Structure 1
């Protein structure tokens, strides 16, 4: 029998790949196992921020840029400020995260970084074939999404697309103890869209305009909506843009997990780890990796019970509602946040609630379209 090049190959050095590598490096169970992380690009620029809610202290607090204990929700008719209780909402930069993990792994002789683009994985020969070479392993953790998932007509697809400006103002305009989770006061053509504000100081904040829509839009639309929000809602006339960030997060019920096998486990976006109804991935990935590691140590396949079928159905129904009635977004989200505690919502989105609690939350959202989507998806 030919000895493979590596015990594990992690395809993709993004969020999920680096989280997985970090977790493996800290567990003595994997001591001495040679692991390759293969990624086509060396990330060396600030490309995005990640935000997530969390109880108490977390694994990444040393990297946190800022955290908030209060959240604001706004519509044309409702203004709600809520205390997060035992939760905090935390923000960190992807470049800080990438550099910290790489520095940690470079101290471990078991890990090697390879700059290459994997084009396919052959499960028979257990070989990842890249543009620059091929790599054998006992198991592959693959973060590449199925290339056809966005065009598949059987499943719902909502794009969470956004653009944010990091701005600095002449005068003090922001409360750095409170972030704005959703502000619907600047709308767009019967679509689900809102502004998201993360204040870092009284004069500095990330202001982001976000769409949850089946369609994409032109670049200048985001800029116009951000300008409107700053002038009409926040009453800010004088500011300068320190930086920008933009992106498109896929929110879909596509069954990525069906591509898992004895020798390949799909992770990250490629594994369906982006929470389909919210687009959140940072904390979700961390929880999936904890389960994956426990599966390996218990003798199960790494993908064993990684995805909760009950919550996958909830996500599928909600996505279908937004797909068919995208104009309902403001009403649904405001019902969610005004009829339930923020702590219960976080637990529901983290898939930690009991079925009886799920029913209560779903009742608070009721609209006839949910029944149509229920029968379509279930």
Structure 2
């Protein structure tokens, strides 16, 4: 059985960023590191998007970026200039290829394609990872395995999902506006939920068109796809197109305490570590920040059980999720009020958790405050009476 100092399970964004961060840092040059994944990471199985000012650390991987976004509501529709921000898209296959090449330059890092079947923690502090190609041992595991089962079986806080199906389409006629990404279009029928269309145009004839919901339950695939067909016809007057690729996903939207699954030897990262922004589902940029924080923290030698902390943004997300869980149809009104009354640059800054407290208040005064006040009162009542659930 081969032994390593660190074992990383999962070669997604979190796993690859962490492996690369450890590999290039001189402080970990003498540490042996194993990265495990069941896939060879050669397929374009997802896309990531970030908003960012100026040049960023992933710019060489950018497939397309937009300086303008479109927001569509029931009563407010507008094209918005987002400078100095850009909205940037990274294809999964480009990200995987780049970081796998980088990992190949680090002599202390190994990548093994294998299916992990079990993680066994021993009393002596060692962890044995059982895989389809053999067993490996270590004293520190970074695990990006995610399961909805864990958070649903111990749901102290509400659990929603950002779920979607997207089509990469190519039309026969020019119908898209390449310089403008449709960030959220709530003009479609809401059906008692928070539902919107999301469009990333690559040219006048090619785009990613995605049907997205913030809700607790998934739909049948047919309903997502019929919504995309209807939108292509109603918004772009287009029925003559080919579907080049499809993508499908579900991202947890919850303030669930993922850190409770950490131990002295097993630490969860990425979505499994709660690194997805609860109120939006955006994960990539947050993962990049958390990875840097984690690597800096490892150098201190302190126990990873103390790494997790809550801040005021966690409570903001909690209040919003409480509202959406109880009255899911309020989502489009909240987002419409935000984009109608506040600049997108400030909204991005707030979602990046970089605002000052007075900017937070200014942002939160844009929507109708009554649902948020009610949500806060419910939370305070729950905290005082120690009820199991408060939503």
TM exceeds 0.5? Answer: yes
Q: Please list every run of 5 or more consecutive structure 2 residues that lacks an aligned counterpart in the other structure.
A: 381-391
Correspondence 1:226-265 to 2 at 5 A: 226-265=228-267
- State the match for 1:122 in structure 2: 121
Contact 1:123 1:264 in 2 (8 A): no
CA deviations 1:76-95 (Å, max 9, x no partner) are 32111111111111111111
CA distance in 2, matches of 1:364, 1:121: 49
CA distance in 1, matches of 2:22, 2:99: 12
State which of 26, 29, 39 in structure 1 corresponds to 2:27: 29
- State the match for 1:140 in structure 2: 141
Q: Secondary structure at the match of 1:58?
A: coil
Contact 1:128 1:136 in 2 (8 A): yes
Contact 1:145 1:256 in 2 (8 A): no
- State the match for 2:389 in structure 1: none
What CA RMSD, in Å, does the superposition of the two structures yield over aligned residues? 1.9
Count of residues in correspondence between the two structures: 376
Contact 2:190 2:329 in 1 (8 A): no
Contact 1:185 1:233 in 2 (8 A): no
Deviates more, 1:23-32 or 1:174-183: 23-32
Q: Secondary structure at the match of 1:201?
A: coil
TM-score, normalisation: structure 2: 0.91
- State the match for 2:91 in structure 1: 93
CA distance in 2, matches of 1:361, 1:4: 53
Q: Please list every run of 5 or more consecutive structure 1 residues that lacks an aligned counterpart in the other structure.
A: none
Q: Give the superposition deviation at 1:104.
A: 1.1
State which of 77, 80, 88 in structure 2 corresponds to 1:79: 77
Contact 1:85 1:343 in 2 (8 A): yes
CA deviations 1:339-369 (Å, max 9, x no partner) are 2111111111111112221111112123422
CA distance in 1, matches of 2:122, 2:330: 44
- State the match for 1:197 in structure 2: 199
State which of 311, 326, 337 in structure 1 corresponds to 2:328: 326
Correspondence 1:340-359 to 2 at 5 A: 340-359=342-361
Q: Give the superposition deviation at 1:302.
A: 4.5
Q: Give the direction of change, closer, same or farther, for the CA distance of 1:32–1:18 in structure 2 (3 Å limit).
A: same
- State the match for 1:288 in structure 2: 290
CA deviations 1:9-50 (Å, max 9, x no partner) are 111111101111111122112112110012223222221111
CA deviations 1:252-300 (Å, max 9, x no partner) are 1110022333332210011100111000000000000111111122343
Q: Give the superposition deviation at 1:237.
A: 2.7
Q: Give the superposition deviation at 1:185.
A: 1.3
Q: Give the superposition deviation at 1:155.
A: 1.6
CA distance in 2, matches of 1:21, 1:94: 17
- State the match for 2:45 in structure 1: 47
CA distance in 1, matches of 2:336, 2:212: 16
Contact 1:73 1:80 in 2 (8 A): yes
- State the match for 1:279 in structure 2: 281
